[in-house]
Amino acid sequence: MPDLGGKTALVTGASRGIGAAIAERFAAEGATVVLAARTLTEHATLPGTLAETAARITARGGRAIPIVADLARFTERERLVDEALATAGTVDILVNNAAASFYRPFLEWTEKRFAVAFELNVRAPFDLAQRLLPRMIEKGEGWILNVSSRTATHPAGPPYSDFHRHGGDLLYGMTKAALDRMSTGLAAEVFAQGVIVNSLAPVAAVLTPGVEALGIVPEEFRREAEPVEAMAEAALALCRRGAPTGRVAYSLELLAELGLPVCEIDGSLRVS
Q: Catalytic positions, please?
A: 148, 172, 176
How big is the CA angle at 48 (ends 47 and 51), to the nearest 5 degrees? 145
Kind plus residue range of the DSSP H or E element containing 21: helix 17-28
Task: Quote the CA–CA distance of 199 and 249 in Å, as a whole number.
Answer: 6
| 3-state SS, residue 124 | helix
Q: What crossing angle do the helices spanning 74-88 and 124-139 adopt, rounded to 10°?
A: 30
Range list of β-strands (E), 58-155 = 63-68, 93-96, 142-147
- Please say whether the beta carbons of 20 and 44 come within 8 A: no
Task: Quote the CA–CA distance of 174 and 267 in Å, as a whole number.
Answer: 34
Closest CA to 254 of 241, 245, 265: 245
User: What's the one-letter identity of residue 3?
Assistant: D
Distances from the Cα of 240 to the Cα of 61, 237, 243, angstroms: 21, 6, 6
How big is the CA angle at 167 (ends 162 and 171), to the nearest 5 degrees? 135
Phi, psi for residue 117 in degrees, rounded to 5: -60, -45
Task: Quote the CA–CA distance of 11 and 13 in Å, as a whole number.
Answer: 7
